[in-house]
Structure 1
Amino acid sequence: MKRSQQPGASLRSQERRAELIATGRKLFANTSYDALSMDDIARHAGVAKGLIYYYFRNKRGYYLAIVEDSVAELVTLAASDPELPRTERVLRTVEAYLYFAQHNEAAYRTIITGGVGFDTQVQAIRDAVRTGLVSTVAEGAYGRRDIPPIARLALLGWLSSVEWLTLEWLGHQELTLEIPRDLLVRMLRHTLNTIEEFAPECPAPPPDPHWRPFTGRADAGNPVADSPDI
């Protein structure tokens, strides 16, 4: 058996690749794609530049791997706990989405706007995010992912609003996370009510009696873990 085929070698290769992606996520967290050279990346990672080329072929491949890793985290965060009540799952999905965007701004901007210019691979990543999030919201709202086309269309329209409202908020973070969260939740409530009008088989979930909209509290903390409103 060749060395590269040995289980231990394969596991170490996966670990090294994951380490490089983790380093890249930190480097690109608030730094544009063009601002970092491969020499900069190798120096920060403490590896020879050739190792990065070995795993990712080029800078673009490395950056796309970082974005894909970020996407996986975003969808996982948004999925929330399947044991939670439906309404609470929807609220947590919105909150987790905003929290991710706030703490992974560069990757988020790439996912939504392209980041490295129009690219079919970046577009495919964005489409996968949208599909995953729409399915997550549908499951949270209706307990299922197979919804009528009109319901999916309405949720995609709401998600487009989510994307651009979030981008605008990232440029004005004097507004706490609770403000865009509550705006988006209310917009989603209207969307779900409208879906019910057009597709009665998709009734909007009842409002959560425990949820309270934003009241001006400034110390949001870690919203995913600490928010008492959700």
Structure 2
Amino acid sequence: MNISQQPVVRPRARGTERSLARRAELIAIGRRLFADTSYDALSMDDIARQAQVAKGLIYYYFHSKRGYYLAIIQDSVADLVTFAASGTGLPPVERVHRTIDSYLRYAEHNQAAYRTIVSGGVGFDAEVHAIRDGVREAIVATIAEGAYGHGDIGPLARMGLLSWVCSAEGAALTWIDRPELSRDSMRDLLVKTLGGTLRAIEELDPSCPAPGPARRDTRP
């Protein structure tokens, strides 16, 4: 009986793998398409033509243009958060350095996706902005884990770190457009400004002491 079932199970597994690969390919294409064009400016016909696929294929995987767009944003977000949260086994201060370095690496090597994430898409989109806000919260939690050893922080510390993340977003956007600084220099600058933020938080809330100095080498 098991032998007779194998021809049914195996093709299904291969089909699933092909489906996942095809979906990932469509998302990669969508990242490029929506990087510089607003959601409303691209019709499903435009997307299908530029992606060189049948329009029905996009509906099959994502149900609608809206579903496709949100899948693209969420996929980009998952990549960014994964990059930024790397280095969990490092000592606290080194983890902060690694977080910032990984964040900049992602922005540098995934510029279209990064622009889409931090700008909330081209134009205003409340749902995409909510996804972006979730990214900010994830980065704040990652930095808090590195700086304090836990992500459960009070409102003052959270607001201080959130303010730094928002300023870092703007700086990183400018940097990838005009890369006048090396990534190492950009990382060191952001580490310094984060240090100032952490010291300000400590001054106003002694329960959140700023971490001590750490070595500068953040290479993997």
TM-score by length of 2: 0.82
Runs of 4+ that moved beyond 6 A: none
Q: Residues of 1 paired with 2:134 and 2:121: CA distance?
A: 16
Q: Which amino acid aligns with 1:42?
A: A
Q: Residues of 2 paired with 1:41 and 1:96: CA distance?
A: 32
Match of 2:113 among 102, 107, 114: 107
Which residue pairs with 1:143 in the alignment? 149
CA apart distance, 1:103: 1.5
Give 1:165-204 correspondences, 5 Å limit.
165-204=171-210
Which residue pairs with 2:164 in the alignment? 158
- Answer yes or no: is 1:39 the counterpart of 2:43: no
| 8 Å CA contact retained: 2:136, 2:165 | yes
Which residue pairs with 2:4 in the alignment? none
CA apart distance, 1:55: 1.6
Q: Residues of 2 paired with 1:12 and 1:183: CA distance?
A: 44
| 8 Å CA contact retained: 1:78, 1:136 | yes
Which residue pairs with 1:54 in the alignment? 60
Q: Residues of 2 paired with 1:206 and 1:127: CA distance?
A: 29
Which residue pairs with 1:131 in the alignment? 137
SS where residue 80 of structure 1 aligns?
Answer: coil
Higher helix share: 2
Q: Residues of 1 paired with 2:176 and 2:17: CA distance?
A: 38
Which residue pairs with 1:98 in the alignment? 104
User: How many aligned residue pairs are there?
Assistant: 205
Say if 1:7 and 1:201 are closer, same or farther in 2 by CA, change over 3 A: farther
Deviates more, 1:32-41 or 1:99-108: 32-41
Say if 1:224 and 1:38 are closer, same or farther in 2 by CA, change over 3 A: farther
CA apart distance, 1:22: 3.4
The alignment yields a C-alpha RMSD, in angstroms, of 2.5
Deviates more, 1:72-81 or 1:8-17: 8-17
Deviations 1:61-93 (A, max 9, x none): 323212211110111111112210111110011
Q: Which amino acid aligns with 1:69?
A: D
Q: Which amino acid aligns with 1:33?
A: T
Which structure has the larger Rg?
2
Q: Residues of 1 paired with 2:94 and 2:143: CA distance?
A: 11
Q: Which amino acid aligns with 2:123?
A: G
SS where residue 153 of structure 2 aligns?
Answer: coil
CA apart distance, 1:150: 0.4
